[in-house]
């Protein structure tokens, strides 16, 4: 059995830079047509000029005969200038602006501390230029329970933001809770949407502690209870156009994951399509998979759908234990495990 899908896009991807970029890029470029590339490098991509340079680095690192288009983003800070949004739109290569609350996740130290104050003129410019705001939706209050941070962000920041700026396009990234599902469904289609990762569809928080501490299942927002996982599966397999594929594939070197203070991020690019197919198959909703992987994202961003296809074969395949590169190795999600739905470029 095989499944032919319009070539998917990844609406939330970390490609990094340097040796890590070269190691991970082919896994995304061989399967996806486009990807929204996250700007949380060191230093972060805060200007259109930096986004142009980063895009060139990515394009140079692409495998030959690859039609992969990186869609760049800007990292919002308290001092981003409204004019930067105009430059970004005119560049034709920047497709969104990313909000990291300062301290919320990997390389977010330079993120936003004053969204409702200093950032307002920029957000208004974004409405004018129809530029979506992508959100890492967690509060950063160290007193807030880590499992409640997404819900608190919705109540304290996102809902008030959308009330204040109802015409702002917003993507809530990597949703992890029933609260987020309900919130997205309560907002207008076409203006507010969410990306969903493979890990938040397949794993609950037990996976962090199964047989011992599992650093390769640690990401932010952290995995939640089973009821939340089920709510996200129901939302995406219902066929709602407000949810689309965003792997949040976030590679870190093995030694930085298997460490006394391990980094947050799951490397899912090589396995993501197999895993999304598994989720939709288990839910009896394979007929809804293609909208999630290939239609809802471009429709939301106002971009054309891809015109080529990819094939997933219902064949068991073993996920490599690790991917080695010049300066280290990366452990993929579900390393060493057997999956079905083999993407044809791996045949």
Contact set with ligand NCD (CB under 6 A): 14, 40, 105-106, 136, 219-220, 248, 250, 264-265
Selected catalytic residue, list 9, 10, 125, 136: 136
**CB distance 200 to 232 below 8 Å:** yes
Q: Which CB sits closer to ligand NCD, 93 or 264?
A: 264
150 touching Zn ion, by CB under 5 A: no
Q: State the binding partner of 264 from ligand NCD, Zn ion, none, CB within 5 to 8 A by kind.
A: ligand NCD
**12 a catalytic residue:** yes
Q: Residue 86: in which H helix or E strand, if any? A: helix 82-91
Q: Residue 325: in which H helix or E strand, if any? A: strand 323-325
Closest alpha carbon to 24 in 339, 266, 290, 279:
266
Q: State the binding partner of 151 from ligand NCD, Zn ion, none, CB within 5 to 8 A by kind.
A: none
Please give the Cα distance from 275 to 257 (Å, whole number).
22
HSE toward the beta carbon, residue 33, CA cutoff 13 A: 19
For 260, the token pair is 């006394």
Please give the Cα distance from 243 to 221 (Å, whole number).
17
**200 a catalytic residue:** no
Q: Which CB sits closer to ligand NCD, 169 or 257?
A: 257
Q: Which CB sits closer to ligand NCD, 100 or 341?
A: 100
Selected catalytic residue, list 98, 125, 151, 252: 98
Residue number with the smallest Cβ distance to Zn ion: 136
Instruction: Report, in Å, the least distance between residue 150 CB and Zn ion.
Output: 10
Q: State the binding partner of 219 from Zn ion, ligand NCD, none, CB within 5 to 8 A by kind.
A: ligand NCD
Selected catalytic residue, list 9, 10, 179, 248: 248
Q: CA–CA distance from 344 to each of 2, 317, 319 (Å)? A: 10, 11, 14
**248 a catalytic residue:** yes
Work out which of 105, 176, 293, 296 binds Zn ion, going by CB under 5 A: 105
The 8-class DSSP code of residue 332 comes to: B
| Residues of the chain by 3-state class (helix, strand, coil), percent to 5 | 40, 20, 45
Selected catalytic residue, list 12, 27, 200, 216: 12
Instruction: Report, in Å, the least distance between residue 264 CB and ligand NCD.
Output: 3
The 8-class DSSP code of residue 330 comes to: E
Closest alpha carbon to 202 in 40, 337, 294:
337
Instruction: Report, in Å, the least distance between residue 210 CB and Zn ion.
Output: 23
Residue number with the smallest Cβ distance to ligand NCD: 265
Q: Which CB sits closer to ligand NCD, 140 or 296?
A: 140
Q: Which CB sits closer to ligand NCD, 48 or 106?
A: 106
**174 a catalytic residue:** yes
Instruction: Report, in Å, the least distance between residue 247 CB and Zn ion.
Output: 9
Instruction: Report, in Å, the least distance between residue 87 CB and Zn ion.
Output: 24
252 touching Zn ion, by CB under 5 A: no
Q: Which CB sits closer to ligand NCD, 127 or 264?
A: 264
Selected catalytic residue, list 174, 216, 254, 257: 174
Please give the Cα distance from 45 to 346 (Å, whole number).
32
Q: CA–CA distance from 279 to each of 99, 138, 218 (Å)? A: 29, 25, 20
Please give the Cα distance from 157 to 344 (Å, whole number).
42
Q: Which CB sits closer to ligand NCD, 215 or 265?
A: 265
For 259, the token pair is 């460490």
Closest alpha carbon to 171 in 38, 287, 43:
38
**CB distance 32 to 10 below 8 Å:** yes
149 touching Zn ion, by CB under 5 A: no
Please give the Cα distance from 134 to 76 (Å, whole number).
10
248 touching Zn ion, by CB under 5 A: yes
Cis peptide before 113 (omega within 30 of 0): no
Q: State the binding partner of 73 from ligand NCD, Zn ion, none, CB within 5 to 8 A by kind.
A: none
Q: Which residues belong to the active site?
A: 12, 14, 98, 136, 174, 248
Task: Give the interface with Zn ion as residue ranges (CB under 5 A).
Answer: 105, 136, 248
């Amino acid at each position: 059995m095989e499944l032919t899908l319009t070539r998917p896009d990844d609406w939330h991807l970390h490609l990094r830079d340097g040796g890590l970029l070269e190691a991970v890029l082919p896994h995304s470029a061989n399967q996806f047509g486009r990807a929204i590339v996250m700007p949380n490098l060191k230093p972060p991509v805060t200007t259109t000029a930096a986004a142009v340079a980063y895009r060139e680095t990515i394009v140079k690192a692409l495998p030959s005969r690859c039609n992969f288009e990186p869609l760049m983003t800007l990292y919002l800070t308290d001092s981003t200038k409204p004019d930067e949004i105009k430059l970004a739109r005119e560049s034709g290569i920047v497709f969104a602006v990313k909000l990291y609350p300062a301290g919320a996740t990997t390389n977010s130290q330079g993120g936003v501390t004053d969204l409702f104050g200093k950032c307002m003129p920029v957000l208004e410019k974004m409405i004018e230029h129809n530029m979506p705001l992508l959100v890492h939706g967690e509060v950063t209050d160290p007193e807030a329970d880590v499992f409640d941070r997404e819900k608190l962000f919705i109540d304290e920041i996102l809902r008030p933001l959308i009330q204040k700026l109802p015409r702002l396009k917003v993507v809530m990234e990597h949703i992890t809770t029933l609260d987020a599902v309900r919130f997205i469904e309560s907002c207008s289609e076409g203006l507010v949407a969410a990306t969903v990762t493979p890990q938040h569809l397949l794993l609950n928080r037990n996976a962090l502690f199964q047989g011992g501490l599992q650093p390769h299942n640690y990401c932010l927002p952290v995995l939640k209870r089973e009821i939340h996982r089920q709510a996200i599966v129901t939302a995406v397999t219902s066929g709602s156009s407000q949810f689309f594929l965003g792997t949040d594939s976030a590679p870190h070197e093995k030694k930085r994951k298997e460490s006394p203070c391990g980094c947050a991020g799951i490397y899912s690019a090589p396995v993501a399509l197999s895993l999304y197919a598994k989720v939709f198959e288990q839910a009896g909703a394979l007929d809804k998979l293609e909208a999630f992987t290939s239609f809802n994202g471009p429709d939301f961003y106002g971009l054309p759908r891809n015109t080529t296809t990819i094939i997933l074969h219902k064949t068991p395949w073993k996920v490599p234990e690790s991917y080695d590169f010049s300066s280290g190795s990366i452990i993929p999600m579900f390393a060493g495990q057997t999956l079905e739905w083999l993407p044809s470029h791996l045949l």
